[in-house]
Structure 1
């Protein structure tokens, strides 16, 4: 990953994690907690692709595993977000821009449900049965609902920041073509101006020669 991608992704993930732990987790909403870190990973994966999404998801999940108050084994959420980031990056738009909001909203709902199921499944493998006591259906419904409500405000902003910080090769090629066209126009315009200046100089030289020849003939006539 490029340095600007790493810097932007790290900053956005840390900000999202701080907001989620210090604000969203303390709202005591019924069911799940709005997952701002997940939405950040989704927004970055939709721009950077499946490889970048997997790396960002793993790093974000590992930070979430280590952030207090951590009540589960380290690496559990990192594995989940790594898989989710990879899968979300597979549906990355070709030009990095969204044509409609239907696709991203479906990705958010699928990611929210899939993250909850994967987290509960990995927890069941390591002996954590907290999801059974809370109620898995209510967790799935509230996780999808909260993330869907936050997604229109988070995902487009994350994608816009990622596109702006990233050097788009399509934009660079189009700007290079525009620069070539403009330079071609400039060179053609310069050639015309130089040609006109040369023509003017030739015309002035011919007129001066004719004037000199007339003067010489006049002198000979005298």
Structure 2
């Protein structure tokens, strides 16, 4: 990924993690916790594609695994967000523009359900039965509900920032160079036209000189 993508993704993930740990986790809502990290990964994956989504998801998940007060095995959430980011990136439209909010909201629902199931499944493999004690059905419902309520305030803003980062000044300067090249071609064409006009002007001057010379000759003969 390019430097601007890495910088923007890292900044957004860190901010999302700080808000997740300091604010959302302290709300003590029933069931699951609103997953701002998941929404950030989904939004970036819809702009950057499946490769970028997988890389961002892995980095975000690993950061969440290592950040206190994490109480699960390191790498567990990294695996979940890596898979979710990859699958969400496959939903990126070819044109890069989403025509309606239905697609992102469907991705959010699928991401919330998929990440919860994957997290509970990986936890069952390593002996973590917290999801079974709370109730998987309750976790799925509350996770989907909270993420859907939070998504309209997060996903469009992150996608807009990511698209704006794609049109960075470096890219604009590159485009400026392209336009300068085309302008150069236009200037070259204008130069050719000016050259032809100069040539015709020279021919007209030589014709006038011949006419004037002929007039002088005729005048001499009249004398």
Map of 2:209 onto structure 1: 208
CA distance in 2, matches of 1:175, 1:31: 53
CA distance in 2, matches of 1:202, 1:61: 77
Q: Which runs of 5+ in 1 are unaligned?
A: none
Displacement of 1:115 after TM fit? 0.6
Map of 2:36 onto structure 1: 36
Map of 1:137 onto structure 2: 137
Matches within 5 A, 1:1-222: 1-166=1-166, 183-222=184-223
Matched residue SS, 2:28: coil
Superposition RMSD in Å? 2.6
Matched residue SS, 2:34: coil
Displacement of 1:105 after TM fit? 0.9
CA distance in 2, matches of 1:149, 1:201: 77
Matched residue SS, 1:30: coil
Displacement of 1:40 after TM fit? 1.0
CA distance in 2, matches of 1:120, 1:220: 115
Give CA deviations for 1:94-139 in whole Å, capped at 9, x if unaligned. Answer: 1222122111111110000111111111111111111122222222
Worse-matched range after superposition: 25-34 or 189-198: 189-198
Displacement of 1:152 after TM fit? 2.2
What count of residue pairs does the alignment treat as equivalent?
220
Matched residue SS, 2:57: helix
